[in-house]
Amino acid sequence: MTKRRVVVTGLGVVSCFGSDVNEFYNTLLAGVSGVTPITEFPCADFPTRFAATIKNFDPGVYIDKKQARRVDKFIAYGMVAGKKALEHAGLYPTIPDTMDKTRCGVILGSGMGGMEVFFDGSKNLIEKGNKRITPFFVPYIIPNMAGALLAVDLGFMGPNYPISTACATSNYSIIAAAEHIRKGEADVVVTGGVEAPISPIGLGGFCACRALSERNDAPERASRPWDKGRDGFVMGEGAGCIVLESLEHAIKRGAPILAEYLGGGMSCDANHMTEPREDGLGVALCIQKALQDAGIGPELVNYINAHATSTPLGDVAEIRALEKIFLHPHRIAMNATKSMIGHALGAAGGLEAVATVCAIQRGEIHPTINLEDPEPCSFHLPTQREKRDIEVAISNSFGFGGHNATIVLAKPKS
């Protein structure tokens, strides 16, 4: 069966740099860090006291104000980013009458779901008893609710489910969404990931894992992918959504085509609960599958948006994996969005997919900041914004449990 071609027609974000895609990417190009001390809750006794938090989030007209106050932040972030992506695609706030909503879906993943509501509910149970638990406790913590409520508002009756594969969540979601379109089961799918983990229990949990940087004296310099001085990742939050659409559907309605989705690949390290395989074999398999699915050879790729979290083991393992696939790495530019926005966990791949599409559209890639003493690496790692005509890009996401997912995006063909 011939696969239908899939294109990207809209982008939406909620990030530490705001909820406007142009502002988000312009700030990345400028090499600005979004990492700041945490002021949202007391954390003086935590070993890590900073993150790339979202300040003064305003859902604007995208969510009913009463609902916005009530829902967990991960739901609000996902609904705003999803609607902004549709708005960018020309499908919101007015959805064309010609659209078949039974063929429109939402696949919006979250690694952790409603952490703030979970924390508050647990606290109320312990301190005040079961009668003080909100009746919205269960609906607002389960990971499917961001996509579910987005579909309720839009009337989208097509495929709708979350994927939860830790920090690989967004790419798994994007691949799943594209497959529904390829197989003719949907025309339009809003997809990506969302996370709102920066709470006492979220921060405390990652501190207990000893996964986070403890550079409290200089938080803006703490996220430093590939730098020999890295000491762990920096927590981030937000949502990154893209609108995927069949090429024929996009052309028929005159939609802006921002990039083409060529394929995706998945694998499992089958190695350790939190640590990557040091030889990079699982990641290499994932990238190889993505290129096979895209029907292209590795020589066509000239840009990589790396997973690159700033962890001692993960950064090097990814380089080892990439060097197994790409035989001329010096021709490929590679950068790390997380150096500026931290690691948004289940939302990371969605935000990075948006950054990758922006790079394709603009012909300019953002720097990796804080890269002062790099690990040995054959790839080109720009530390300043750089012009680059991107033909084919890959974006990597890997998660706890050994979950790996890579997507392949390309410049739209004229």
Read off the pLDDT of residues 311-370 as tens digits, 9 standing for 90 and up.
999 999 999 999 999 999 999 999 999 999 999 999 999 999 999 999 999 999 999 999
Identify the pLDDT of residue 328: 94
* pTM of this prediction exceeds 0.95: yes
pLDDT at position 1: 62
Q: What is the β-pairing status of strands 188-195 and 104-109?
A: parallel
pLDDT at 255 over 90: yes
Structure confidence by residue, pLDDT tens digits, 184-206: 999 999 999 999 999 999 999 99
Using one digit for the tens of pLDDT, what is the confidence trace for 208-253?
999 999 999 999 999 999 999 999 999 999 999 999 999 999 999 9
- Secondary structure of residue 192 in the 3-state scheme: strand
Residue 254: pLDDT over 70? yes
Tell me the fold of 263-410. Peroxisomal Thiolase; Chain A, domain 1 (3.40.47)
Instruction: Give the pLDDT confidence score for residue 224 in this predicted structure.
Output: 98
- Cβ-based burial of 138 (10 A; exposed 0-12, middle 13-18, buried ≥19): middle
How many angstroms separate the CA atoms of 372 and 209, rounded? 26
Who has greater pLDDT, 413 or 364?
Answer: 364
Helix H or strand E segment including 264: strand 259-268
Encode pLDDT of 163-183 as tens digits. Answer: 999 999 999 999 999 999 999
Q: State the average pLDDT over residues 374-397.
A: 98
65 — pLDDT class (breaks 50, 70, 90): confident
Can you give the residue ranges of every domain in the chain?
Answer: 6-252, 263-410
Q: What pLDDT, in 10s, does the model give residues 110-168?
A: 999 999 999 999 999 999 999 999 999 999 999 999 999 999 999 999 999 999 999 99
Residue 390: pLDDT above 80? yes
* pLDDT of 279 higher than 90: no
Whether 6-252 and 263-410 share one fold: the answer is yes
* 333 neighbors 388 (Cβ within 8 angstroms): yes
Average pLDDT over residues 256-262: 97
pLDDT band of 414, cuts 50, 70, 90: low
CATH classification (class only), 6-252: alpha beta
Average pLDDT of the residues in 302-313: 97
Q: What pLDDT score was predicted for residue 57?
A: 95
DSSP per position, 286-313:
HHHHHHHHHT--GGG--EEE----S-HH
pLDDT classification of 261: cutoffs 50, 70, 90: very high
Q: Which residues are catalytic?
A: 167, 307, 343
Per-residue pLDDT averaged across 1-5, rounded? 84
Alpha-carbon torsion (311, 315, 316, 318), positive or negative: positive
Per-residue pLDDT for 2 more than 90?
A: no
Mean pLDDT, rounded, of the chain = 96
pLDDT tier for residue 274 given thresholds of 50, 70 and 90: confident
**Can you spell out the DSSP letters for 322-357?**
HHHH-S-GGG-EEE-THHHH-B-GGGHHHHHHHHHH
Who has greater pLDDT, 65 or 111? 111
Please say if the pLDDT value at position 24 is more than 90. Answer: yes
Tally Cβ neighbours within 10 Å of residue 130.
Answer: 8
Question: For the chain, what percent of residues have pLDDT higher than 70?
Answer: 100
